[in-house]
Structures are given as structure tokens and as C-alpha cells.
Structure 1
Amino acid sequence: MIGKRIAEIRKKRGYTLSELADLAKISKSYLSNIERNLHKNPSLEIMIRIAEVLNVELAALLNPGSVQNTEFSIEQEWVDFVSELKEVGMEKDQLKQYKLLIEFIKWQNERSE
């Protein structure tokens, strides 16, 4: 079950088996065995490395029933920022206008450096 979950998230992230193995510093054959559930009990260290590369919480690999785990992980800081925008009355359709303003300010700052 863990292996199926790793393969599912790996494919959603656009990694090949070889790429994930290289980034997690494990052999391709070992990762393949994990994904095919031939090696059903990988070490915690290996699971942490895989989770870090896939940018998910370790629980996302261990709990296939979690809805949140199928989505990309969002940093809490961004969630808080969006909540603050909503609190001050920002609507979704207004974001594009502010995006343009932010891009302009960023461009100005880069020019003045």
C-alpha cells in the first residue's frame, strides 16, 4: 500500500522512477521494489527522504485515505496570507489586478538595484 502511494504521488509530481531514486539517494531497484510492494517495510529514514523529495508530509505516504494528501502541500504561511486577504475583503477576481501591480513593483525594484 505504501508503494502504491509513493508511485501515485511520484507520477503526479512528474518524476520518473530513476529521478526520484537519484534525488532520494536510493537505488532505482530498491525504489521499484518499494513501489511494487516487494519491499513492504522500508526504513523510516528512506521514507523521510522520499517524502522530502516529493514535497509531502510523511503521513501523506502512510495514509492513503487522506484527501489532503492527494493535493500539493501548501505552506501554512501562504494559507495565512490568503486568509488575511479574504478578511480585508479581497475577492478572487481582484487577484489578477493586484498581481499586475506586484509584478510592476517587482520590476521597478529590480531596475533600481
Structure 2
Amino acid sequence: MDGEGEKVIGDRIKTTRKARKMSMEDLAVQTGFAKSYISSIERGVQSNPSVHFVESVALELGVSVHYLIQGTAEEANGFLDEGWISLVTEAINSGLSKQEFREYIKYKEL
């Protein structure tokens, strides 16, 4: 990908992050990537983000990797089906944090 492609990915990350009312710090903590690295991607300064980075960010933002790379609206809106959206909404409304949800999933895997 050229630098312009990276800027577009960065723009999509930033726009989606802000739409989710998530700070750059929140995204950094949840993905394990440095805030400065995320900032450099969002600003298009850093080129060639790793697949691991794009996958981690997509997961935390609730969008597909395809959306971050290609930018199709269908992918952004169609990542979660209605059942998942309902489950996530119910969890949020009950006060369940992302960390608590992660811990539950890890517990179930044991």
C-alpha cells in the first residue's frame, strides 16, 4: 500500500473511534498498542500498519478488517448481525465493561 492508502485507513480508524466515543488512550489500552503508534497511523505518518494492528483495532471498534482497508459502508454496518448487536446492547445497558466481557470469554475457554 502507498502512503495515501495508510492515511485512508487512519482516517477510518479515527472516524470510527470518535463515533464510538472512544479516546485514543482507550483504544491503546484495549489493543495493547502505544497511543503514539495509533496517532501516527491516524495521521498517516506511519505507513504499512501490521495485519495484527488492523485486526486488533477492527475488533475493538466493532468493524471488519475489510472496512478499515476498503471502506465499504456495507461492511461497517454488516459486521455484527442483529443478534450480536442485541447482545452487545444488552451487555452495555447492564453495565458490563469490555474487560469484564473479555474475562468471561477467557473463563469460558478454560
TM bin (shorter chain): 0.5 to 0.7
Shift of 1:69: 4.0
Cα deviation 1:19-63 (Å, max 9, x = unaligned) = 011101100000000000001211001110101101111011011
Q: 2:63 touches 2:76 (CA, 8 Å); kept in 1? A: no
Trace 1:17-96 onto structure 2 (pairs within 5 A): 17-64=24-71, 66-71=72-77, 73-75=79-81, 77=83
Inter-partner Cα distance in structure 1 for 2:81 and 2:75:
13
Matched-pair identity in %: 31
> What's the C-alpha RMSD, in Å, of the aligned pairs?
2.1
Inter-partner Cα distance in structure 1 for 2:15 and 2:78:
12
* TM-score, reference length from structure 1: 0.61
Larger Rg: 1
Cα deviation 1:63-84 (Å, max 9, x = unaligned) = 12x12245374326569xxxxx
> Judging changes above 3 Å, is the alpha-carbon distance between structure 1 residues 9 and 69 closer, same or farther for their aligned structure 2 residues?
farther
Secondary structure of the corresponding residue to residue 71 of structure 1: helix
